[in-house]
Amino acid sequence: MARTPVNRWWRPLVGTVVIAAAFVGVAVVVLLGGTIVAQLSGVPVLMDGGMFGDPVLELAVMLLSIALVLPFVFGAAWLVQRRPPGTLSSVAGRLRWGWLLICLVVALGAVILGQVAMALTYAATGEGVGELFGWVGWERFLPALLVVVLLVPFQAATEEYVFRGWVLQGFGAYFRSPWPGILLGAAMFTSLHAYTDWGIVDVFGFGVLMGWMAVRTGGLEAPIALHVVNNVVSFLPPAASGDLGDALRQGTVPWQAISGTVVQLGFFAVVTLIIAHKRAIQTVSR
């Protein structure tokens, strides 16, 4: 999609610098705004182990600092690459909302199956799963629920537009194969996370499959759908149990969690591609 008549070797590089600068600039502004809100509301500003004493505020700042980069991604496509921003969404030049809705339903099933597989693996290896679930009460859960539901879709979509849209398409213009762009996007996506050991494998594998799905389905609808559902489901249980602060720390991931990821990604890829084939979803530009 980035291989247009006006494409030049420097356009993807300049656009990437613009987007990277936007990431930094937006993060600084949002963090400053969050600090002001914290000071006015009496929330401690932490110097170690997190940003704020309120994990909901910290989550909101984290999600906003990513979500607000999306207009800059569209701007880079329009002003630097001289192409319609909609071409980042799909080969149709727009986000295909009906297809996105179908992918969301498949993603929900995939994530549920992945959670079940992970719980069964924990149980089979003698690890308890009871501590993963709890109830902190509506007074504390509702603010977190609102933040997750309102902001996670935009945060997840922005990451997909950056790594499976801009990077995959922009650097794909240099190569005949999409794989250099897929792997580069997955590596950059992984670098934004603070996970270690198995967590790195988990995130990188997710990034690779989402890049491949973007190519095979001709757009970002499938990656956005799974990313949104996965993140919502990842945040809500710790928010409900009062462990949201620990969830934001990322860090190490038990190997048992990989079983859930394999089931989730495998189910989503197979079912989505079958449906895309049956519905003759457009996969190449015309």
Task: Please write the tens of the pLDDT for every residue from 151-202.
Answer: 999 999 999 999 999 999 998 888 889 999 999 999 999 999 988 889 999 9
Q: How confident is the model at residue 136 (pLDDT cuts 50, 70, 90)?
A: confident
- What's the pLDDT tens digit per position in 100-110? 999 999 999 99
Over the Cα atoms of the chain, what is R_g? Answer: 19
Q: Which helix (H) or strand (E) holds 53?
A: none
Quick one: CA torsion of 92, 97, 100, 102, rounded to 10 degrees?
Answer: -120
Q: Flag whether pLDDT at 131 surpasses 60.
A: no
pTM for the model: 0.94
Please give the single-letter amino acid code of residue 3: R
d(CA 214, CA 167): 12
For the chain, how many residues are written? 286
Q: How confident is the model at residue 51 (pLDDT cuts 50, 70, 90)?
A: confident
Which pair of tokens denotes residue 253? 């991931």
280-285: average pLDDT: 92
* Strands (E) located in 119-267: none
Name the 3-class secondary structure at 245.
helix
* Nearest CA-CA partner of 72 in 136, 16, 28: 16
Burial of 162 from C-beta contacts in 10 A (0-12 / 13-18 / 19+): buried
